[in-house]
Structure 1
Amino acid sequence: MNTFLSTVIETLQSSQLNHFVMDNAVVFPILEMAHFLGLSMLFGALLVVDLRLVGVAKKIPLNNVELFLRFALIGFAINLISGVLFVVGDPGRYLVNLAFGLKMLAIGLAGVNTIYFVKRVKPQLHKTHQPPTIGKEAAVVAWLSIALWMSVIVLGRFIPYVETP
């Protein structure tokens, strides 16, 4: 392990926040529940939107489905907060874990996919078509979103089983 990473781990392990997370019997289980709730909101909402973009439930107006994105953002915020607290609470486990690193990569790629959707695809959906027409590009972005978030879920489950010696 390089010295920078060792320093980061040692600094986090000696922080008050680390002691709050690790030394209180209820904090870690509450974080686990919050993380699961946030993930359910995030993935559930995105699944509704993404499946609509690939052609499922075509009779439901796209504007109605887009309302689910609020729940996805709330779920992401819950997961961001609880996830940071997991890392601060046990940095020696997470920061050296391959599954965790791959999970962060998948989240980053999902973020890039989301930015692409917001900047390039979403404006095209509402341009001049009433009702909006959904093209191939939107479907590709939607399938990629589903694949990336499923990867995040699977890699998150791998974290306890990919321990570094």
Structure 2
Amino acid sequence: MQPILESLAQTDIATYLRNSRWGFAAVNTAHIFGISILFGSVLTLDLRLMGLWRKVPIAPFSYALPRIAAVGLALAVITGILLFSVRPNEYVALGIFRVKLALVSLGFLAALLAHARGSLHNDDRRQQMVMGAVSIFCWAGALICGQLIAFMA
């Protein structure tokens, strides 16, 4: 694993980001923008699943918000890899970084499972509440861990 991390840290883009205040700032801003898109759309859908706005049909939520979340996730992952490339050895050494990756993975897998099972469109309120709570836990936890990484690395 160490040779892979060293190679990543030596890429041209990693070197550029390490040495460019504005380049790093632009990628970091794009990362936060991606997280905002992801978390805002996921939180809205999860709150609907958990019972808020019951008078509003779930169909518009379940159609638009997962697509918006996917765009946010893609932007966050791409920019996250770029940010990681700047100091990969330091990030991998942080336990909180590994927790963040686990929470993002769990949140993503839970979303895939929910969509594969059609859970967004069934009438099982308990299942929807559990899905919403797990999702909020994963994505909010990942967000908090990411913020902590900024202060620990």
What is the TM-score normalised by the length of structure 1? 0.85
Report the equivalent of 1:48. Answer: 44
Candidates 124, 129, 153, aligned match of 1:139? 129
CA contact (8 A) 1:103 1:156 kept: yes
Q: Which residue of 2 aligns with 1:110?
A: 107
Larger fraction in helix: 2
Task: Kindly tell me the number of residue pairs found equivalent between the two proteins.
Answer: 152
**Deviates most, 23-32 or 138-147:** 23-32
Distance in 1 (alpha carbons) for counterparts of 2:25 and 2:51: 39
How far, CA to CA, are the matches of 1:53 and 1:12 in structure 2? Answer: 40
State how far apart, in whole Å, the 2-side matches of 1:134 and 1:118 are. Answer: 14
- Does residue 36 of the first structure (1) align with residue 26 of the second (2)? no
- 2:101 and 2:9 map into 1 onto residues whose CA distance is 21
- 8 Å contact kept, 2:35–2:76: yes
Distance 2:79 2:124 in 1: 35
Alignment deviations for residues 57-91 of structure 1 (CA, whole Å, 9 cap, x no partner): 01111111121222111110110111000111221
Kept in 2, the 8 Å contact 1:42–1:74? The answer is yes
**Does the aligned pair in 1 maintain the 2:119–2:127 contact within 8 Å?**
no
Q: Does 1:58 align with 2:48?
A: no
Percent sequence identity is: 24
Partner SS for 1:95: helix
Residue in 2 that maps onto 1:70: 67
Q: Which moved more, 1:18-27 or 1:34-43?
A: 18-27
Amino acid in structure 2 at the alignment position of 1:29 = A
Once the two structures are TM-superposed, the CA of residue 134 in structure 1 deviates from its matched residue by 4.2
CA distance in 2, matches of 1:50, 1:117: 12
Partner of 1:9: 5
The 10-residue stretch of structure 1 (136-145 or 153-162) with the greater mean CA deviation from structure 2: 153-162
**Which residue number in structure 2 is paired with residue 97 of structure 1?**
94
Amino acid at match of 2:37: M
Larger radius of gyration: 1
Q: Could you tell me how far 1:121 is from its partner in structure 2? A: 4.0
Letter in 1 for 2:25: P
